[in-house]
Amino acid sequence: MTQNEANAPRPEPDDDAPIDPLGSTSVLIARAQGGDERAKDRLAARYRTALIRWAHGRLPASARDLVDTDDVVQSALVRGLSKIGGFENRGDGAFLAYIRQALLNEIRDQARRVKRRPEHATIDDRIPDGEASPLERVIQAERLERYEQSLATLSPTRREALILRLELGFRYREIAEAMGLPSGNAARLLASRAYIELSRSLKERT
């Protein structure tokens, strides 16, 4: 067994439980585009908690002082779902990429607002315990860029499974429900293959 295979996603107790195809993201999108407000609510509920967790790590600390992460996510969801009528569902990964981009745009808007605010605080060169230094932040940014570049090389299906699992922390059954897969086990296998492919791509970029 290779190191990548050893670190790949593990089975979960409900991997083989049957999945309701009517709850897939693609079905909910179609209903939402037809004006079904409950379908919009289900889409928002499906991703909100995970998006809050994901956004918190990307929202600048200075922006978090001004706005709650959940407010940023809620704003992105409202904007994205209000325009869902014009969304073109091109298959697996399309909606996730769409709502993820809406959230990234919202985060960038918040970061720009922070930069426009006048700075009144006294500059302190000391780094508080537990806070990343400027150099550490640069290194983290470079790693994030390599990750994004490697992620873009995956197929839309594998990319969606990996984002749901690694970034949003979905269980395999939840991934299966979101992607319309037959079982959590199918989602686990898909995520495992995506993880191995991503690891290889990241290794090539180091």
Q: Is the pLDDT of residue 137 over 60?
A: no
More confident residue, 97 or 133: 97
More confident residue, 180 or 154: 154
Identify the CA nearest to 28 among candidates 18, 16, 38: 38
CA dihedral 179, 197, 102, 106 (to 10 degrees): 140
Angle, to 10 degrees, between the axis of helix 37-56 and the axis of helix 94-116?
A: 50
∠ CA 98-94-60 to the nearest 5 degrees?
35
**b/e map of 151-166 (b: 16 or more CB within 10 Å)?**
beebeebbbbbbbbbb
Question: pLDDT tens for residues 159-195?
Answer: 989 888 888 888 898 888 888 888 889 999 999 999 9
State whether residue 18 is helix, strand or coil: strand
Q: Fold for domain 21-115?
A: Rna Polymerase Sigma Factor; Chain: A (1.10.1740)
CATH 1.10.1740.10 residue ranges for the chain: 21-115
Q: Which of 22-26, 104-108, 113-117, 179-183 has the lowest mean pLDDT?
A: 113-117
What is the 8-class DSSP label of residue 166?
A: I
Q: Fold for domain 133-206?
A: Arc Repressor Mutant, subunit A (1.10.10)
Question: pLDDT tens for residues 2-40?
Answer: 545 445 556 565 555 555 555 678 888 999 999 999 999
CATH 1.10.10.10 residue ranges for the chain: 133-206
Number of alpha carbons in the 13 Å side-chain half-sphere of residue 135? 1
Task: Give me the sign of the Cα torsion angle 76, 170, 158, 93.
Answer: negative
pTM (predicted TM-score): 0.60
Identify the CA nearest to 96 among candidates 184, 159, 23: 159
Local confidence band at 129 (pLDDT 50, 70, 90 cut-offs):
very low
State whether residue 144 is helix, strand or coil: helix
- The helix, strand and coil proportions of the chain, stated in percent and rounded to the nearest 5, come to 70, 0, 30
Using alpha carbons, list the distances in angstroms from residue 50 to 65, 72, 112: 21, 13, 24
